């Protein structure tokens, strides 16, 4: 299963959170670091989260039209 690290950006409902995942890489020609981010709608059932928490998410069966990931754990920082 694919696992990603991200930051909670919003609490969309009882069991849904929005997680922003950043990735960085060096541009192949210019060698400058490029940053891109993507937002994922994630299923959360039992973990108490607030905006700004770092979480680990993983792919799972589809919970709805948009939710294809679930929150696995809250990362302590």
Given this model, what pLDDT does residue 77 score? 67
Any idea which residue has 């930051």 for tokens?
Answer: 7
What's this model's pTM, rounded to 2 decimal places? 0.89
Domain ranges of the chain: 3-75
Q: What's 3-75's CATH class?
A: mainly beta
Given this model, what pLDDT does residue 76 score? 86
DSSP letter assigned to residue 37 = E
Nearby residues of 51 by Cβ (< 8 Å), 6 or more positions away: 8, 9, 10, 11
Closest CA to 15 of 73, 58, 67: 67
pLDDT per residue as tens digits for the range 52-72:
999 999 999 999 999 999 999
Radius of gyration for the alpha carbons in the chain, expressed in angstroms and rounded = 14
Any idea which residue has 């799972």 for tokens?
Answer: 60
């Amino acid at each position: 299963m694919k696992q990603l690290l991200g930051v909670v950006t919003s609490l969309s409902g009882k069991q849904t959170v929005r997680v922003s995942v950043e990735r960085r890489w060096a541009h192949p020609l210019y060698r400058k670091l490029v940053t891109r981010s993507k937002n994922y709608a994630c299923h959360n059932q039992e973990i108490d989260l607030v905006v700004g928490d770092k979480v680990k998410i993983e792919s799972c069966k589809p919970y709805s039209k948009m939710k294809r990931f679930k929150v696995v754990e809250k990362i302590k920082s």
